[in-house]
Amino acid sequence: MKAAWYENIGDAAEVLQVGELNDPNPNAGEVLVEIKASGLNPSDVKTRAGARGELQFPQIIPHSDGGGIITAVGEGVDQSRVGERVWIWNGAFGRAHGTCAEMIALPSEQAVSLPDGTSFEAAACLGIPASTAYYGMLCDGSIENQTVLVTGGAGAVGYYGIQLAKWSGASVISTVSGDEKAAVANDAGADLVINYRDEDVVAAIEDFTNGEGVDRILEVEFGGNLSVSEQVIKPNGTIAAYGSVAVMEPSLPFYNLMFKGVKLNTYLIYIVSESDRNMIVNGLNDAMSDEALTHMISESYALDEIIDAHQSMESNQVIGNIVINT
């Protein structure tokens, strides 16, 4: 099979290779998927560059997300799955061979039935961005009639977060850093979009909510936004945080949060529980079946162009998802 891989950590142009590798075979409990599209996420470029430490395996085929068709099954997997269109989660998490190849063999439960009408490129955006948004927004149950704040609403996660919140019956506020990103958050369905570079975020939220604040925050930058979050979160509200790059070791205003009864949920989508994973998978498929999600695919590359794709991701100039068509 044709695949991309690396055997050392470093710059994309120096370590990424494309060539032929042996076809994988599904073991017991596994399926073999012909990959049609592989999703590129920030974690993929950070791992390749060495931000996650040394190599876990001698040779790594990158990328955890993807979409494709099951072509064979291992022992114990229902033969009827052959021919099924699927989306993939955790393809490269704790595994040597991810989705940036023409084929992948992985546990059957990590290849999820893809609803009709959803493209393979869209499927390659579900495992990390959409799943992160779903868990952060809905892991505690219904948000119907609540007011939620999505920080970074033009990001890959935030874009899905806005749509999922609207699908769930919530009112949505989103913060962004400029006019182009404001247009993206508006397109996703946000009821109020705030440019935090030009506007007083706290005042805008207080005005929109009549001073009540928000029930939930889907937080891309916990440390950097904490001074705002502690002011706008309602008593007994929840901050669901999946990132804090700008301030990686924030000082926590414990008593301010405690006296509001704020629940802080930090999470990593790769390691959620089995029950939470099932909730995410079923919920996302329901949302897609309801045609509640659009997918912001900004750039598509061929497998031979993987270096360009990684460099584009690292430029931090792309608004939306990047996929590799295999």
Residue 282 lies in a domain: no
Instruction: Give 147's pLDDT tier (boundaries 50, 70, 90).
Output: very high
pLDDT tens-digit readout, 212-228: 999 999 999 999 999 99
For residue range 223-253, list pLDDT tens digits in order: 999 999 999 999 999 999 999 999 999 999 9
- The token duo for 265 is 């949920």
Whether 115 and 90 map to the same domain: the answer is yes
The domain total for the chain is 2
Residue 320, in any domain of the structure: yes
pLDDT digits (tens, 9 = 90+) for 83-142: 999 999 999 999 999 999 999 999 999 999 999 999 999 999 999 999 999 999 999 999
The sign of the dihedral angle between the CA atoms of 101, 299, 109, 116 is: negative
Domain that residue 237 falls in: 129-270
Answer yes or no: is 284 within a domain.
Answer: no
- CATH code at 84? 3.90.180.10
Whether the predicted pLDDT of 52 surpasses 90? no
- pTM, entire model: 0.97
The first and second tokens of residue 97, run together, are 């061979």
Tell me the two tokens of residue 96. Answer: 């040597």
User: Does residue 18 lie in a domain region?
Assistant: yes
Q: Is the separation of the CB atoms in 62 and 124 below 8 Å?
A: no
- Asked if 135 and 233 sit in the same domain, the reply is yes
> What is the Cα–Cα distance from 278 to 284, expressed in whole angstroms?
10
Q: Is residue 236 part of a domain?
A: yes
Whether residue 158 is found in the same domain as residue 107? no
| 264 and 166 in a common domain | yes
